[in-house]
Amino acid sequence: MNSKKTTIHDIAEKLNITASTVSRALNNNPRISEATKKTVLDMARSLNYQPNNLAAALRKGKSQLIGVIVPTINRAFFSSVIRGIEELANKLDYRVVVSQSNEDVDNEIATLNALINARVDGILVSIGKNTKQFGHYQELIERGIPLVLFDRTTNEISTSQVVIDDFVAGYMATEHLIKQGCKKIAHITNYHKVNIYKERYRGYLEALKDYNIPFEKSLVLEGNMQLEDGRECTKQLIASGEEFDAIFSASDYAAMGAMQVLKEKNIKIPEEVALVGFSNEPFTSFTDPPLTTVDQFPIEMGQAAAELFFEILNSTKKKIIPQKTVLHPELIVRASSLKKGK
């Protein structure tokens, strides 16, 4: 039905030159005269030529495609990181293919294989919460496929990574609450399998220590960091009868759950309980009161990850020394933690 697609051979034929000349002209090869370049380009346009990147990729052994795996794109944080990656990649004429693992290990492996089979030139990944084995990533490195980790990383594979300083972030959040006069600060965190939560927790502990606030194990709640988990943790906390005057949640969603429960119980925020979340998801500025949170600079994170990626890709060395970029977080103070007169 549709006329056959134009190839460089069609252009060559029309112009009475060879396909290689056409190829070189289209690729702006310096050894081709400006005159032929122009005629080729014109003919290409008039025949509505669309290069077959597949063929080029096959021939060159590289696809100009880079794969990104994230737990979900349905988070402002991740979609912003992706935008950051795309910015640099597109500038360098690379396309970005995004896949979601949905926090599922099998899915993560399947999606990884699919990307490899699609011959991406490398992969950037934020590891799922439940992924405990990293063999599939280790294999990539051994096969010489560039790999960069971001945000949800692990030290079990030796490759470049980008994170924010989650320790400092946890410290800042806790310190802020302390400076607001809070003395009994609860913390909602994940089972410490994932680096980021472990670090935020360490920051929390360190701040307590530095300000001589006794650590209470009963104030540390563990959950899966979704809204519902935040609700559960907060209900438990209240039911436990344990006194608390602040909650630092390592996730905005869990913080939102906490806010809901506190409001349902008519506990005033921030007067009775101050609240701090994590990630600066857009909705945090819409809540009532607006939620204090930590900005992770996702776009910058994406850019940094892409930079490390292209460093590996363009490296001629056999052995690549893994780099680690650490971004500095920023506390966004809003009404949920601002006590009057402070």
Partner DNA sequence: TTGTAAGCGTTATCAC
Partner DNA sequence: GTGATAACGCTTACAA
Q: Which does 117 bind (CB under 5 to 8 A by kind): DNA, a copy of itself, none?
A: a copy of itself
Is residue 80 within the footprint of a copy of itself (CB under 8 A)? yes
Task: State the alpha helices, DSSP H only, in 216-291.
Answer: 227-240, 252-264
Residue among 51 and 213 whose Cβ is closer to a copy of itself? 51
Q: Which does 7 bind (CB under 5 to 8 A by kind): a copy of itself, DNA, none?
A: DNA
Closest CB 76 distance from a copy of itself, rounded Å? 6
Q: CA-CA distance, 180 to 174, in Å (whole number)?
A: 10
Is residue 318 within the footprint of a copy of itself (CB under 8 A)? yes
Using the contact rule CB under 7 A, the part of the chain among 12-20, 186-194, 235-243, 245-253 near DNA is 12-20
Is residue 91 within the footprint of a copy of itself (CB under 8 A)? no
Is residue 49 within the footprint of DNA (CB under 7 A)? yes
Closest CB 179 distance from DNA, rounded Å? 60
> Between residue 18 and residue 37, which ones bind DNA under the rule CB under 7 A?
18-21, 23-27, 29, 31-33, 35-36
Is residue 113 within the footprint of DNA (CB under 7 A)? no
> Between residue 213 and residue 252, which ones bind a copy of itself under the rule CB under 8 A?
none
Task: State the alpha helices, DSSP H only, in 118-213.
Answer: 135-142, 166-179, 195-210
- Scored b (16 or more CB within 10 A) or e, 73-97 reads eebbbbebbbebbbebbeeeebebe
Our measurement of the distance from residue 1's CA atom to the centroid of its chain's CA atoms, rounded to an integer in Å, reads 44
Q: Which does 218 bind (CB under 5 to 8 A by kind): a copy of itself, DNA, none?
A: none
Task: Compute CA distances 8 → 26, 36, 37, 94, whole Å.
Answer: 9, 14, 13, 22
Is residue 142 within the footprint of a copy of itself (CB under 8 A)? yes
> Between residue 96 and residue 135, which ones bind a copy of itself under the rule CB under 8 A?
97-100, 113-114, 116-119
Using the contact rule CB under 7 A, the part of the chain among 1-9, 126-134, 158-166, 296-304 near DNA is 1-9
Closest CB 281 distance from DNA, rounded Å? 42
Q: Phi first, then psi: what are they for 86, rounded to 5°? A: -60, -40
Q: CA-CA distance, 304 to 146, in Å (whole number)?
A: 15
Number of helices (H), then strands (E), in the chain? 12, 12
Of 294, 192, 298, whose CA–CA distance to 251 is shortest?
294
The DSSP element (H or E) to which 49 belongs, if any, is none
> Between residue 255 and residue 314, which ones bind a copy of itself under the rule CB under 8 A?
256, 259-260, 263, 282-283, 286-288
Sheet containing strand 246-249, edge to edge, reads 220-222, 185-189, 246-249, 274-276
Residue among 116 and 332 whose Cβ is closer to a copy of itself? 116
Q: What is the rounded radius of gyration, in angstroms, for the C-alpha atoms of the chain?
A: 26
Widest CA span of the chain, in angstroms? 88
Where do contacts with a copy of itself occur on this chain (CB under 8 A)?
1-2, 5, 50-55, 57-58, 63, 65, 72-74, 76, 79-80, 82-83, 86, 95, 97-100, 113-114, 116-119, 142-144, 256, 259-260, 263, 282-283, 286-288, 318
